[in-house]
Amino acid sequence: MTARVPPADIGSYWLASCDDDLTPRPALTGDATVDVAIMGGGFTGLWTAYYLLRDNPDLSIAIVERQFCGFGASGRNGGWCSPRFPINPAALTRRFGAATARSMLLAQQAMVDDVGRICDEEGIDAHFRSVGVLTLARSARQLPSLQQSFDAYARLGMGDGCELLGASQAQDAVHATQVHGGMRLRAGGTIHPGRLVRGLARALERRGVRIYEGTEVLQTAAGIQPALITSGGTIRARRAVVLAGEAYMTAQPAYRRRLIPMASTIMLTAPLTAAQWDRVGWSGGECLSSYVHTTNYLTRTADGRILFGSRGAPYRYGSDMDEVALRENANFGWIRDRLTEWWPALDGIEFTHRWAGYLGIPRDWLPTVHFDPVQRIGYSYGYTGHGVISSAICARALAGLIVGRAADPNAPYVRAQAPNWEVEPLRWAGIRYVQNAYLRMDVAEAAKRPPPLDAGLAKFLGEP
């Protein structure tokens, strides 16, 4: 049985301010039988229960969570309700055709609004704000990427939801250094994910869902009466068992190569003063980022802090997800330096919280949603860094499959499995190489040096 991790040890500001005392729910003791048994108390597990009950309020559902609801990425993310899919619009169009790409992007955008609406309906005060997304070019070399992204949306007939900003317009929006231009997506929002994940769990309990925390699923049984065999007893399911463990699924032999756990790291400042905000700009509070290979994502919290997220600890051999190593190897110093590079006026600002987490990355960057009606096992995973919204879309699709609804023809993520990642040690060597090359590419660009000679190879290996 995995040791319990107290919420405070994670360091996430979202858990520390989630408006829920995080008292552990009782663990399972003994056997039980329900209609649907779900492993995982993150967004995927909770949204699956939500959508199952929305159309079938009489279903009995149990959720089994090894730690506590919100322990995983759902309680640690950047708070972006991203209107973008893990795969960019041009690549989506190339892979699935224009009609499917458009339909997937529109679904993602619509779900952003749905999440805000559901929070209102359920009385979840999750600080949802419909603020859009602002992507900056912070070097001349990044400008073509803005134009390409805009063109890809325009080709899908979605150009009216986007706006290209020239250098001075973008600088007016955000007073950061090196702002050469920007692109605004009107769709998208920010949310307090801790309040959302904990609030959803409470809303489900009000509808009769039983949630067992501190209970580890050790094995699953498939067939006529599937079951979750847990550390506290067996939960048999009349209709379906759902596996919603995202990056943590890699611990199960059957899913070991279906996705990899990729770490991401976040630092959070103390609330800025009004004078500091004047110097920062960013009064729109958009989901903010720039085109870097090592990724950056910035969120303005409801209480006036800056959340800065970026690359996490290096990939660990065999998809190891050790919590202590995750924190010890997180690149907190790197993030502090990036923040002051964006806004030198914030040099010396206090950081009150720092944390890291794992997100699941499939080999082809497309999530997987599947329900086998014979085995009666369903699963959904692999949202890369867009799971706050993608998890709800995928969970809705999974709930539909469980109750026998046909899959949307424009949902290529409804499939039995993602392509496998390479076996070790090839996987470790390849991922470490790409992580290192991306860092070298960003460092070269920031120093206005030519890209490293292997930049093309790294992009070929690292992009979907």
Ligand X SMILES: Cc1cc2nc3c(=O)[nH]c(=O)nc-3n(C[C@H](O)[C@H](O)[C@H](O)COP(=O)(O)OP(=O)(O)OC[C@H]3O[C@@H](n4cnc5c(N)ncnc54)[C@H](O)[C@@H]3O)c2cc1C
> Given the rule CB under 6 A, which residues bind ligand X?
39-45, 64-67, 71-74, 76-80, 82, 216-217, 244-248, 264, 266, 297, 309, 357-359, 383, 385-389, 391
Provide Rg for the chain, Cα atoms: 21
Token pair of 51 as six digits: 């959508």
CA separation, residue 460 to residues 101, 370, 412, 438 (Å): 22, 29, 23, 12
For residues 338 and 320, the answer to whether their CB atoms sit within 8 Å is: no
Edge to edge, the sheet with strand 162-165 lists 162-165, 181-185, 133-137, 287-290, 296-300, 306-311, 259-269, 351-362
C-beta of 102 vs 354, nearer to ligand X: 354
In the complex with ligand X, which residue's Cβ is closer, 41 or 400?
Answer: 41
**Residue with the shortest CB distance to ligand X:** 387
Residue 350: CB atoms within 10 A of its CB come to 8
**Closest distance between ligand X and the C-beta of residue 380, in Å?**
7
Q: What is the DSSP code string of 290-329? A: E--TT-EEEEE-TTS-EEEEEE-SPP-GGG---HHHHHHT
How many Cα atoms within 13 Å fall on the side-chain side of residue 145?
A: 16
Measured CA to CA, the distance from residue 195 to residue 210 in angstroms comes to: 19
Q: Which is nearer to ligand X, 180 or 370 (CB)?
A: 370
Give the shortest CB-23-to-ligand X separation in angstroms: 17
Tokens of 388: 């706050």
Both tokens of 271, joined, read 């609330």
| Shortest distance, position 387 Cβ to ligand X, whole Å | 2
Residue 433 beta carbon to ligand X: minimum distance, rounded to whole angstroms: 22
Shortest spacing between CB 76 and ligand X, in angstroms: 5
Q: What number of other Cβ atoms are within 10 A of residue 458's Cβ? A: 21
Q: How far apart are CA 49 and CA 103, in angstroms?
A: 24
Contact status, residue 358 vs residue 266, Cβ threshold 8 Å: no
Least gap, CB of 133 to ligand X (angstroms): 11
Question: What is the closest distance, in whole angstroms, from the C-beta atom of residue 110 to ligand X in the complex?
Answer: 15
- Of 82 and 135, CB closest to ligand X: 82
Q: Which of residues 79 and 412 has its CB atom nearest to ligand X in the complex?
A: 79
User: Least Å distance between CB 159 and ligand X?
Assistant: 24
Rounded least distance, CB 27 to ligand X, Å: 11
Minimum CB separation from ligand X for residue 273, in Å? 25
Report whether 361 contacts 277 (CB < 8 A): no
Rounded to a whole number of angstroms, the distance between the first and last alpha carbons of the chain is: 36
Q: Residue 180 or residue 292: which is nearer to ligand X going by CB?
A: 292
Q: Which is nearer to ligand X, 67 or 319 (CB)?
A: 67
Instruction: Specify the residue, 27 or 59, whose C-beta has the smaller distance to ligand X.
Output: 27
Which one, of 293, 325, 289, 260, lies nearest residue 434 by Cα?
Answer: 293
Between 10 and 180, name the residue whose CB sits nearer to ligand X: 10
**φ, ψ of residue 262 in degrees (nearest 5):** -115, 130
Nearest distance, CB of residue 288 and ligand X, angstroms:
11
Indicate the residue among 168 and 417 with the shorter CB distance to ligand X: 417
Which residues contact residue 340 at a Cβ distance below 8 angstroms, ignoring those fewer than 6 apart? Answer: 346, 347, 349
Compute the least distance from the CB of residue 72 to ligand X, in Å: 2
| Closer of 119 and 445 to ligand X (Cβ) | 119
- The closest of 116, 122, 127, 128 to 201, measured between CA atoms, is 122
> Cα–Cα distance between 405 and 183 in angstroms, integer?
38
CA distance 287 to 389: 14
> Of the two residues 51 and 180, which places its CB atom closer to ligand X in the complex?
51
